[in-house]
Structure 1
Amino acid sequence: MKYDVVVIGGGIVGLATAYQLLKKKPQLKLILVEKEKQLCRHQTGNNSGVIHSGLYYKPGSLKAKNCINGYQMLLDFCNEEGVPYELCGKVVVATDEFQKPLLENLYKRGLENGLHEISKLSLEQLKEIEPHVNGIAAIKVPYTGIIDYTAVAEKYAEKIRQWGGTIVLGEKVTAIREKASSTWVETPAQALETALVINCGGLYSDKLARKTSDEVDLKIIPFRGEYFKLKPEKEYLVKHLIYPVPDPNFPFLGVHFTRMINGGIEAGPNAVLAFRREGYKKSQIHLGELMESLFWPGFQKVAWKYWKTGMGEMYRSFSKAAFTKALQKLIPEIEENDLVDGGAGVRAQACDRTGGLLDDFAIYEAKNAINVCNAPSPAATSSLSIGDTVSNLAIQRF
C-alpha cells in the first residue's frame, strides 16, 4: 500500500502530528502505525495529567516555545471539542534557605517566559491557600491545570479518522528501508510504501531513528517514575498542585502532590533507572536493554555525575518510609499509612554520547524521515505545538 506519510507511534505526539498534518493538508494519504493494541499505552497513558505552564524551561528553548504555544492550543482544542480540564493552579515551595535563590530564579524565568500572573506568596498567603504545607517561601502559578491526556489523544484520533487518515493498531515496525525513490516501512503484517516517515516512537524513537539515518548518536534511557496515592480521607491536605523547588543538579522535578482530573491525589514521582524500556515494575527486566543503558558512554557519565542523587531516588523506590519522608518536607502531616500504591510511568529521556541528558526537545531530519527523538514532559501539554512544528517540516517535503 502506498502512502504520502507514515507516522510511527500512537502516543499523544504522534497523534497530534498526524492531526496537524491532515488539518493543513487533508488530501494527504496518511497512516499512523502503533505497535500496541490500544493508543496511548506508554508515556501518554501513564503520566500525571498536568497542564504545564512553561515555568521551568530555558527561555527561547524548544520546550519553552512549544509549551507556551501548546498550552493555549491545548486549551482551545479542549474548549472546542468538549474535553474536560481544570486550571487549578500550583504552588512551588521552598522548604530550606538554600532553595530561596533557586525559587527566585524560577520566578524570574517564569516572567521571562511570559507568565505575568505568577506571584510570590507570603507565608500568610501560602497558609491561606494551602494550610497544611510547610514552607519558608513560595510562588503561585495560576496557569497550571489538570487533564486526562488519553482523552485528549483519543479526540485527536477521532479527528484523524474523520479527515480520512488511517490508524493501525497492534503492528510493530520491524524495518525501514530505502528502495529506489521510496521508503518502505515494514511490519509483520504489511509493507507500507511512503514518501515520508515521521518517527514519534517515544521509548524506541532512537532505535527507529537509526533505521533512517546513521547520524543519530543518542540513546533513550528509560527512567521510571513511581507514584503513591493519598487515601481519600487525607485528600483534604492538598488544594492545588504542590511542587518542591527542583534540584538544579538533577533533571527531574522532585516528588510532589498532584490533583487528578478524575479525582484523587497522586504523590510522586521519583526517578529511577528502569531495567527495561517499558519497565513499569521493579521486577520487569530486559537484560539486553539494561546493558544498552549501562554501557552507553553518556549514561556512565550521567551516573557518575548524579550518583548520590540517583542512589537517594533508588532508596526511595525500595523504601516507602523514605518516600514518605521526602513528601513530609512539603506536608509534615503525611504519614506512611496515608499512602497506597499508585502506578508508574516510564520517561523516555534521551542521553547523548558525551554525558548530557538532553534538556530540550530534539527533532532530527533525515532524507525521507523526521525523527522526534526527545519529547518527555512537557510534551503532552506541548503536543499540538510539536505537531505543528513537525507538520510544517513535513509539508515542505511535498
Structure 2
Amino acid sequence: MSVSNFRPLTLVNSDDVFYDIVVIGGGVIGCALARELGRRFGNVLLMEKETSVGFHTSGRNSGVVHSGFNPRPGTLKAKLCVEGSKAIRELCKERQVPYEQVGTYVVATDESQVPVLHTLKRRGDENGVPGIEILSMEDVRRQEPNVKGVAALFSPTGAIVDSVALTQTLAEDASQLGVTVALGKEVVRIEESAQAITLHTRSRRFSTQFMINCSGLYADRLAHTMGLARNYVVAPFRGEYFVVNRADDPVIKSMVYPVPNALVPFLGVHLTRTIAGSVLIGPNAVPAFGREAYNKFAINAKDMIEMVWHRGIWNALIRNQELIGVAWNELRHSCSKKHFFKEASCLVSGLCLQDLTLDRRVGIRPQLINKDGRLVEDLVVEATPRSIHILNVVSPGMTSALAFAKWVSDGIHDDLHWENQPTGDDAQRTLHN
C-alpha cells in the first residue's frame, strides 16, 4: 500500500510535530490500535519503518483465524482470541476483505494423542468456541477424504484471511478516522520527560503525550532504550513453507493440524488452505540469526551480539535441553522438501514428493525469552506514565488484534494515562513510575 492511500504526513518543522498519541509499528496490532484510537482521539500518529504496512510478521503468516480452543480457559489470551475471531469475521464481511470459514481439524495420528483432543475440546467449550466436536475418522473423511489418523477435533469457525489485505484495511480505516500514517519512519531513539515523549527517526523528531510501542520484532529493543524490559529479549524464529502444486486435487479443503507438542509454543507443521486456493505446508520454527533474517544463510551481527549478551539466551541453552533438541532438528531440516513431505504425510495421504515447491513466503516469529531462559507464552506489557510497551503478542496475535486493540484503548483515559486493566492469569503487566 502506498503513502498516497493515507492521509499525508504534513512536513513542518520538527518542533511543531506533536501528537496526542503515537503508535509505533504498522503490523496488524499497530494498525488495529490506530483504528481503535482514531475513534476516540483526534490527533493520533501511526509510525511504520517500512514503506508499507504489514511488511513483516503480519504479512508473512499463513493467514489463519483461530477459533480459540488452544488457550487456557480464564486467560486473557482465550478471551481475546474468541472475541477477536468474531470481530475479524464481521470486519471482513463489512469491508469485503478476502476471508473464508473453512474449519480446523486437529488430528491424532495414534491412540496416545486422543486424550489431548479431549483436553482441547474442554478448553474450547469453556472458552465459548461454538460447534467444536471430536469426530471419528469415518466422519472426518466425509469432508476431508485424504486425512489420516485415529480421531480428530473439528472446529467449524476456523478460517483463513488475506492477512496483508486485512492489515491494509485497518490502516485505511484509521486514516479515514483522521489518524496520520507515516510510512518509512523508523524510530531509533526515544526520550521521555515530564512533559512529553520525543521520538527520533533518522531525519526528524516527533513529540507525543502518550506512546504505544507495538513494533513486534523490535518491541524489546525500543523498550530497552527507555530502560524497560531488561529481563526480556526477542529470539527470532524463521517459519518456512512449501506449497502443494496440485490444482486438480488440492489435498485438503480446510486446515489440518497435528496434536500440539507440549515442549514448544509452536503448533507444528500443518496444512492450510489459502485464500488463493493453494495449500501451504508449514511453517516450521527455525532459529534465525537476525530479526529480519528471511534467508536461511542471512546473519545480522548486531542482532546476534545482542542475543548472545543477554543471560536469558544462555539460560535457555542450559536449561531447555528438550527445546534445544527440537531447535537443532528444525535447523537441520530447514528448507528440506523431504522433511516437510514426511511431516505432512503423517496427516494426509496421496501426497508425492514432487508435488511440493518451496514457497517464497517466509516469516519471522518474535519469541520473547525471559532472563531465566523460559520461552514466554503470556502477554507481556510494560508501561510508564506516558507509554505502553506490548512485548509479546504471539499466536493467535492476528486473530486477537481487534479485541486486543479495544482492550488497550479501553484502558486509556481521556487525560492520556493507562489504567490497570483486568487481565487473566496469563498477562504480565508492569508499571514503571
Provide the TM-score with structure 1 as the length reference.
Answer: 0.95
CA shift, 1:328, in A, is 0.9
CA shift, 1:215, in A, is 4.7
From 362, 379, 390, the equivalent of 2:397 is 379
Tell me: higher relative CO, structure 1 or 2? Use CA pairs within 8 A at least 6 residues apart: 1
Q: 2:408 is matched with which residue?
A: 390
Post-superposition CA distance 1:159-207 (Å, at most 9, x none): 2111211011111101111245111011122111111110010000001
Q: How many residues align?
A: 396
Correspondences of 1:75-86 after superposition (within 5 Å) = 75-86=89-100
Contact 2:106 2:154 in 1 (8 A): yes
CA shift, 1:97, in A, is 2.6
Instruction: Say whether 1:4 aligns with 2:46.
Output: no
Q: Which stretch shows the higher mean deviation, 142-151 or 93-102? A: 93-102
Closer, same or farther: CA 180–104 of 1 in aligned 2, 3 Å: closer
Q: 1:349 is matched with which residue?
A: 367
Correspondences of 1:63-212 after superposition (within 5 Å) = 63-212=77-226
From 366, 371, 385, the equivalent of 1:367 is 385
Closer, same or farther: CA 185–42 of 1 in aligned 2, 3 Å: same
CA distance in 1, matches of 2:76, 2:118: 23
* Root-mean-square deviation over aligned CA pairs: 1.6
CA shift, 1:396, in A, is 5.5
Q: Return 5+ residue gaps in structure 1 as ranges.
A: none
Q: 1:284 is matched with which residue?
A: 298
CA distance in 1, matches of 2:364, 2:239: 6
Closer, same or farther: CA 121–60 of 1 in aligned 2, 3 Å: same
Closer, same or farther: CA 39–268 of 1 in aligned 2, 3 Å: same
Post-superposition CA distance 1:228-268 (Å, at most 9, x none): 00003464311211100011111100100000012211001
Amino acid at match of 1:340: T
* Paired-residue identity, %: 38
CA shift, 1:308, in A, is 1.8
Contact 1:8 1:198 in 2 (8 A): yes
CA distance in 2, matches of 1:69, 1:185: 33
Q: 2:6 is matched with which residue?
A: none
Amino acid at match of 1:206: D
Q: Which stretch shows the higher mean deviation, 180-189 or 294-303? A: 294-303
CA distance in 1, matches of 2:237, 2:175: 33
Q: 1:315 is matched with which residue?
A: 332
Q: Return 5+ residue gaps in structure 2 as ranges.
A: 1-16, 417-433
CA shift, 1:358, in A, is 1.3
Contact 2:29 2:405 in 1 (8 A): yes
CA shift, 1:298, in A, is 2.5
Post-superposition CA distance 1:111-148 (Å, at most 9, x none): 11112411111121122111111101111110100101
Closer, same or farther: CA 105–166 of 1 in aligned 2, 3 Å: same
CA shift, 1:91, in A, is 0.7
Q: 1:41 is matched with which residue?
A: 55
CA shift, 1:81, in A, is 1.6
CA distance in 1, matches of 2:178, 2:250: 47
Closer, same or farther: CA 105–171 of 1 in aligned 2, 3 Å: same
Q: 2:234 is matched with which residue?
A: 220
Q: 2:75 is matched with which residue?
A: 61
